[in-house]
Amino acid sequence: MVLASGALQMAAYSALTSIALTMLPPGRAAVLAFSTPIWVVPLAAWRLREFPSRREALGIALGLAGACAIAMPSLEMGRLDQLLACGMLIVAAGAWAVAIVCVRAHRFAATSLQLSPWQTLLAASVLLLAAACFEGRPPPISQQVIGSLLYVGPVATAFAYWAILEASRHLPPSTISMSLLAVPLLGMLISAVMFHESAGSSLVCGMLLIGAGMFLAIGAGSRIPDRREQVPQRN
């Protein structure tokens, strides 16, 4: 559980999305980064033997069409860097989906808060090693960068991942998935205000397709058994 959540959900997702944000507008990146529920359905069918219905299969198809619609301008403009960034975000969403399936299939003997320090330590170690290998010695850090790190690290990463994991153990998966739909929408609004990112037809179409796909596909999570009811919790 620590390896799946720490290495995939925290380390891989954080690294891939951070790199992609240097090559792609934040609004477009937010839509692709939170396409995770689309990938949960086929993974659950393979790993948990929870096969999608026709409605869920249609949701997967719509989600893939939305991802293609968002990535299409990169192909048309020949921007290989943006195409690479889209691929990173899709892989990041897939990595998070693997972690979600592992969480749903896991029989918890410890609380989310007890696991979080070990998950965060593992993710920090992996990211530190990767940064040292690919980026080299870090440059001098300004006060603005320190402020960003204090928010991105403890709040947007450690607290956010713990909150989603804990909420997933107490709320229906459909509620969690629908709540996460607010993230790319909010990201689009913030990006439009702060970075003057224009919402082109391909981005709007992709958002609508991914949103419709998520709405259809999230029903798969509701059939996965609640592992908390099978094994008593330990304090």
Confidence check: pLDDT of 16 > 80: yes
Handedness of CA 25, 28, 30, 35 (dihedral sign): negative
Burial class (CB in 10 A: 0-12, 13-18, 19+), 66: buried
Q: Write down the pLDDT at residue 179.
A: 65
- The residue ranges of every structural domain in the chain are 2-229
pLDDT digits (tens, 9 = 90+) for 20-45: 888 887 767 777 787 776 777 777 77
Strand, helix or coil for residue 25: coil
More reliable by pLDDT, 222 or 17: 17
Confidence check: pLDDT of 174 > 70: no
Chain mean pLDDT for the chain: 75
CB-CB neighbours of 19 under 10 Å: 16
DSSP state of 130: H
Comparing 68-82, 170-184, 194-208, the range with the smallest average pLDDT is 170-184
Comparing 53-67, 88-102, 113-127, the range with the smallest average pLDDT is 53-67
pTM for this structure? 0.71
Question: What tokens does 148 get?
Answer: 């960003």
Q: How far is residue 150's CA from residue 63's CA, in Å, rounded to a whole number?
A: 34
How large a percentage of the chain has pLDDT more than 70?
Answer: 75
The pLDDT-based confidence of 205 (bands split at 50, 70, 90) is confident
More reliable by pLDDT, 18 or 227: 18
Burial class (CB in 10 A: 0-12, 13-18, 19+), 160: middle
